[in-house]
């Protein structure tokens, strides 16, 4: 061949070069082509603040596998990429950078701050994209979008205004997650729950007009200041007589009612709970049902406000200490119990989130959720695996109104305008010049921005040109598959589905492929606090992108977490080396020019072609079912075991004796090349770089494996009988190898082999394929016959289903040398047994040594005695 592979596989030497070629040739790019069926995946947009982590690496590897597979199948495959403005994360980073320069965000002002933010985006926003390219992601970067680009921003405004006009968006006071440090509302997605050590404070609330009290238990005594009721279960006999009575709120003196509500768990705590509608989501719902007052006791920075009496101005935890002390002095603190509980933490600043009732913008969710629920029930939308259906439905069926406003500057500013003269609210796509109610031009825009999820909920269609009816939108939408982690179902998947139905009347995708988390080798979640995160770029630098990709998908099952092992990366790299070296071997033997398909194929040729056929069919079926881990394990086993370890070894005789039968050698080379090329195609979606390098070196009919045709089942290579025949040979080879290993026969020692079978068909199989397995069983002569006639009685035998293999004993073993070796072994074992018996008969050792040490010695003795028995038996056979 004119071209050949480098002697050693070096990912660094090929990966960047190949990626540049792919991009230059526009292999990732998709244009509308009505003659082809589209297949679209929309990339979950990584944050512009982001650094590639293992979760990104897994998510994007799975998407890339699917898009490469579909591209090779002839689909017009579009992988739509982009990045997210990540309002809170970005604002936190920019604010910190300004602070480091001695600049206060508020003194800088909104306009100047936004100028800095866009500069920051320009400088750092493309970092994660370049990292995704290192991974081999074949997204259509020509179409890269950003959630705050002109088109996406237009879509956001369109949706907000439409929803407002339809009555789905409103401004009101409801309970939200509040971050006292970032001083903004945050979504559930930005709240991480961590188990913390805390306490249960048991407090007596005096009942009005009596000397009795009702005992409640709370983990947050400071919220007592905003209590507006005590609730008990309607069926709780202990409290039935108290329902309707009033209690005196400790430290405050306010009278609050005892109410009955089925929200209360009779078995938990005392069965009586304090209700603080302004500071607990469940209490808020109870408050709505019972028309309770809402008393917010905290300022935005989590200090106690004017409703807190003497505790006003104290930090929430400072107030907690003071209040507990005062309750104790009043004799109202009964006891304090240790308690482990889940606490909500803001994932950006690690501050404990404070539930608060605040005036915000909300989306009414009850009606919008219905089509999203129906989509799953009718099969328009499916989850892989299906068990995530329950999670999806559970969240949608209990959905609350969605808080969409954020007290931030970076993001989509809410298109609502206020008249300073009459208070009118105007929601408009364009900034109004005057108030439609009073005609005043004294207007100002709402200071808040929209939740990041508001824009990313529109991502599958806003990236394709919606709200304009563009050709891209008409052709590529709805998309086909969304690939995402199970931790994001509520926050993003559900919002995209209901948004899709609300604005396009269609589900944004038909399938959601759910994957798990990548954990460390101990099964722990990777995190900064544990310091156990592994940088994918470090893995790529050391072992190559292909090795990382193969590692991430090996054994990966939809919805399941996986553990990351460095040993597995090494195994993946070793597999790449195996493929590389096998390819080099084949190329070294290939002649110049094209090899025609042979007229006659040998048994082993037909076997490997038939196995390729079967594997192709199975892998395609697995990939269509999104069983990507199962599919790659089949490709891996086929290439390593069947192709490299069996087929290549089986045809070496024909290659090395080309002069004796050139036609047979050419048939072997044609088969070697044909199977390698097809196997590389099956492997390509998983390991794109190495497969491309080999493919472009071994053939020149096609420019790139990326745009080559996906292998298909070929009827003419369906050699089921020949498969069975070669499997017989494999059984014989394995049996002979096992016997030789047991008898310590060195590979260099060749022995005569007799194959005996009463079945003529089996004898013909072994006879016709003699040279394919002679080297594999390390034989210098193979005799095939129908009986044991002429075979020595001491011949070693191997039984396989349809034949018996015999090897003359004296050809396998140098009897004199073996007797000498066994006698030395017998002497050694006798010494070990004597030593071991001596220790175990020593009373001091047995009584004073650690029990585990004594047990270990007993196990050694048993092992030596068994080995001695085997050595003696072998000696008696030889002598």
**SS3 state at 770:** helix
Q: At what angle do helices 536-543 and 127-134 cross, to 10 degrees?
A: 40
**SS3 state at 345:** strand
Whether 69 contacts 47, CB under 8 Å? no
Give which of 724, 725, 717 is closest to 610, Cα–Cα.
Answer: 717
**SS3 state at 774:** coil
Rounded CA Rg of the chain: 37
Kind plus residue range of the DSSP H or E element containing 97: helix 87-100
Kindly report the backbone phi and psi dihedral angles of residue 65, in degrees, each rounded to the nearest multiple of 5, phi listed first.
-60, -50
Whether 638 contacts 679, CB under 8 Å? yes
Kindly report the backbone phi and psi dihedral angles of residue 775, in degrees, each rounded to the nearest multiple of 5, phi listed first.
-70, -35
Q: Which sign, positive or negative, has the C-alpha torsion 401, 407, 409, 414?
A: positive
Q: Is it true that the peptide bond before 110 is cis, omega within 30 degrees of 0?
A: no
Q: How far is CA 310 from the centre of its chain?
A: 52
Q: What are 834's two structure tokens?
A: 């004597």
Residue 377 neighbours by CB under 8 Å, 6+ apart:
none
The rounded distance, in Å, linking the Cα atoms of 599 and 846 is 76
Residue 60 neighbours by CB under 8 Å, 6+ apart:
43, 132, 135, 137
Residue 829 neighbours by CB under 8 Å, 6+ apart:
864, 867, 868, 871
Q: What are 104's two structure tokens?
A: 């206060």
User: Cα–Cα distances in Å, from 768 out to 359, 661, 759, 764, 773?
Assistant: 86, 14, 14, 6, 11
Residue 508 neighbours by CB under 8 Å, 6+ apart:
42, 460, 461, 477, 478, 479, 482, 496, 497, 499, 500
Whether 635 contacts 686, CB under 8 Å? yes
The rounded distance, in Å, linking the Cα atoms of 596 and 609 is 16
Give which of 3, 160, 184, 16 is closest to 540, Cα–Cα.
Answer: 16
Question: Residue 78 — left, alpha, or beta (φ > 0 → left; ψ -120 to 50 → alpha)?
Answer: beta
Whether 480 contacts 511, CB under 8 Å? yes
User: Cα–Cα distances in Å, from 725 out to 495, 540, 605, 606, 729?
Assistant: 57, 43, 12, 10, 7
* Beta strands 449-450 and 518-519, pairing class: unpaired
Burial class (CB in 10 A: 0-12, 13-18, 19+), 270: middle
Q: Which sign, positive or negative, has the C-alpha torsion 150, 152, 158, 160?
A: negative
528 is in an annotated binding site: yes
Give which of 367, 632, 388 is closest to 501, Cα–Cα.
Answer: 367
The rounded distance, in Å, linking the Cα atoms of 583 and 811 is 36
Kind plus residue range of the DSSP H or E element containing 755: strand 751-756
**SS3 state at 210:** coil
The rounded distance, in Å, linking the Cα atoms of 287 and 257 is 12
Residues placed in the known binding site for ATP: 528
Residues placed in the known binding site: 528
């Amino acid at each position: 061949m004119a071209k050949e592979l480098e002697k050693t596989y070096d990912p660094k030497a090929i990966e960047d070069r190949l990626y540049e070629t792919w991009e230059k040739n526009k292999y990732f790019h998709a244009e509308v082509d009505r003659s082809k069926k589209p297949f679209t995946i929309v990339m979950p947009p990584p944050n512009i603040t982001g650094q590639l982590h293992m979760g990104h690496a897994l998510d994007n590897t799975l998407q890339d596998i699917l898009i490469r597979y579909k591209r090779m199948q002839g689909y017009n495959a579009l992988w739509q990429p982009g990045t997210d403005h990540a309002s809170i994360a970005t604002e936190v980073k920019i604010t910190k950078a300004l602070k480091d320069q001695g600049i206060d965000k508020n003194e800088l002002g909104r306009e100047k701050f936004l100028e800095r933010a866009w500069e920051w985006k320009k400088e750092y926003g493309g970092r994660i994209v370049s990292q995704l390219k290192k991974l081999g992601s074949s997204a259509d970067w020509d179409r890269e979008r950003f959630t705050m680009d002109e088109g996406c921003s237009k879509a956001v405004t369109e949706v907000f205004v439409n929803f407002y006009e339809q009555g789905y968006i409103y401004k009101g006071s409801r309970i939200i997650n509040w971050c006292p440090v970032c001083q903004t509302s945050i979504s559930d997605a930005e709240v991480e729950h961590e188990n913390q050590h805390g306490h249960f404070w048991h407090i007596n609330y005096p009942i009005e007009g009596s000397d009795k009290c009702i005992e409640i238990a709370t983990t947050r005594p400071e919220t007592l200041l905003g209590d507006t009721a005590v609730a008990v279960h309607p069926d709780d006999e202990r409290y039935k007589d108290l329902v309707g009575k009033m209690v005196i709120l400790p430290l405050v003196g306010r009278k609050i009612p005892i109410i009955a509500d089925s929200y209360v768990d009779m078995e938990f705590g005392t069965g009586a709970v304090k209700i603080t509608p302004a500071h607990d989501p469940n209490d808020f719902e109870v408050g709505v049902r019972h028309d309770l007052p809402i008393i917010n006791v905290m300022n935005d920075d989590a200090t106690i406000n004017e409703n807190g009496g003497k505790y006003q101005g104290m930090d929430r935890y400072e107030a907690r200490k003071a209040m507990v002390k005062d309750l104790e002095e009043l004799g109202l603190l009964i006891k304090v119990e240790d308690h482990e509980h889940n606490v909500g933490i803001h994932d950006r600043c690690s501050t404990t989130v404070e539930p608060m009732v605040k005036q915000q913008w909300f989306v009414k969710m009850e009606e919008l959720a219905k089509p999203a629920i129906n989509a799953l029930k009718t099969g328009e939308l499916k989850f892989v695996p299906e068990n995530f259906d329950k999670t999806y439905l559970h969240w949608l069926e209990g959905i609350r109104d969605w808080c969409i406003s954020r007290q931030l500057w970076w993001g989509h500013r809410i298109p609502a305008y206020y008249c300073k003269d009459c208070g009118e609210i105007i929601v408009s796509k364009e900034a109004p010049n005057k108030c439609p109610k009073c005609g005043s031009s004294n207007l100002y825009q709402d200071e808040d921005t929209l939740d990041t999820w508001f824009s990313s909920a529109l991502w599958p269609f806003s990236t394709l040109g919606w709200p304009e009816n563009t050709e891209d939108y008409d052709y590529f939408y709805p998309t086909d598959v969304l690939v995402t982690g199970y931790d994001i179902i509520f926050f993003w998947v559900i919002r995209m589905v209901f948004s899709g139905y609300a604005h396009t009347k269609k589900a944004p995708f038909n399938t959601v492929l759910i994957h798990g988390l990548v954990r460390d080798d101990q099964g722990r979640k990777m995190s900064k606090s544990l310091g156990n995160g592994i940088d994918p770029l470090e893995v790529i630098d050391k072992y190559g992108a292909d090795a990382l990709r193969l590692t991430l998908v090996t054994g990966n099952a939809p919805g399941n977490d996986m553990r990351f092992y460095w040993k597995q990366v090494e195994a993946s790299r070793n597999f790449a080396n195996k493929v590389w070296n096998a390819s080099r071997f084949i190329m070294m033997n290939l002649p110049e020019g094209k090899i025609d398909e042979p007229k006659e194929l040998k048994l082993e040729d037909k076997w490997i072609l038939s196995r390729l056929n079967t594997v192709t069919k199975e892998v395609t079926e697995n990939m269509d079912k999104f069983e990507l881990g199962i599919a790659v394990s089949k490709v891996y086993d086929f290439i390593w075991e069947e192709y490299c370890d069996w087929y290549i070894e089986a045809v070496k005789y024909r290659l090395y004796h080309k002069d004796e039968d050139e036609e047979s050698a050419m048939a072997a080379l044609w088969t070697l090349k044909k199977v390698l090329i097809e196997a590389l195609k099956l492997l390509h979606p998983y390991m794109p770089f190495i497969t491309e390098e080999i493919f472009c070196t071994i053939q020149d009919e096609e420019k790139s494996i990326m745009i080559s045709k996906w292998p298909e089942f070929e009827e003419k290579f369906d050699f089921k009988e020949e498969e069975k025949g070669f499997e017989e040979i494999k059984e014989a080879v394995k049996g002979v190898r096992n016997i030789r290993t047991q008898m310590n026969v060195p590979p260099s020692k060749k022995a005569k082999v007799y194959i005996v079978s009463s079945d003529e068909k089996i004898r013909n199989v072994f006879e016709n394929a003699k040279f394919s397995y002679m080297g594999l069983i390390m034989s210098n002569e193979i005799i095939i016959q129908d009986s044991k006639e002429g075979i020595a009685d001491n011949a070693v035998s191997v039984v396989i289903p349809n034949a018996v293999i015999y090897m003359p004993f004296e050809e396998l073993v140098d009897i004199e040398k073996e007797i000498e070796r066994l006698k030395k072994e017998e002497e050694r074992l006798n010494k070990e047994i004597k030593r071991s018996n001596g220790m175990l008969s020593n009373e001091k050792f047995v009584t004073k040594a650690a029990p585990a040490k004594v047990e270990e010695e007993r196990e050694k003795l048993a092992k030596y005695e068994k080995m001695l028995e085997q050595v003696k038996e072998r000696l008696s056979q030889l002598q």
